[in-house]
Amino acid sequence: MVTIELLGQLQTVDGERDVAVELTAPVSVRQVIQRQGIQLRHLLQLIREKKVLVTINKKIASDDSLVHDGDAIRLVGHDGFGGSGLGPTHS
């Protein structure tokens, strides 16, 4: 199991801040997020825009970094201004 912790103003579209994901093989952070569908879809764009810091087991990572069973992913939202613009959009 991999845990995803959303920090700062980040949350799922349902307002959750913690997500648990079962993995059978190592995959990238991007793939883990994509597999969660609409719940975390908005995070991919924020990562591309460098508005989210990605860590795996407290080490700085990227959306290409591999995640293994037992890892903890933390996504820390920031927009450079300490303001809004990081929450999920309901489109």
CB atoms within 10 A of CB 33: 24
Residue 90 maps to a domain: no
Residue 86 maps to a domain: no
- The whole domain housing 45 covers 2-74
Residue 63 maps to a domain: yes
Mean pLDDT confidence for 2-25: 93
CA distances from 41 to 9, 24, 34, 59, 88 (A): 15, 21, 6, 23, 9
Q: In this structure, what CATH number is given to the domain that contains residue 56?
A: 3.10.20.30
Tokens representing residue 39 in the block: 């719940």
Q: Is pLDDT at 91 greater than 50 in this prediction?
A: no
pTM for this predicted structure: 0.83
Domain total of the chain? 1
Query: pLDDT tens, 64-84?
Result: 999 999 999 999 987 654 544
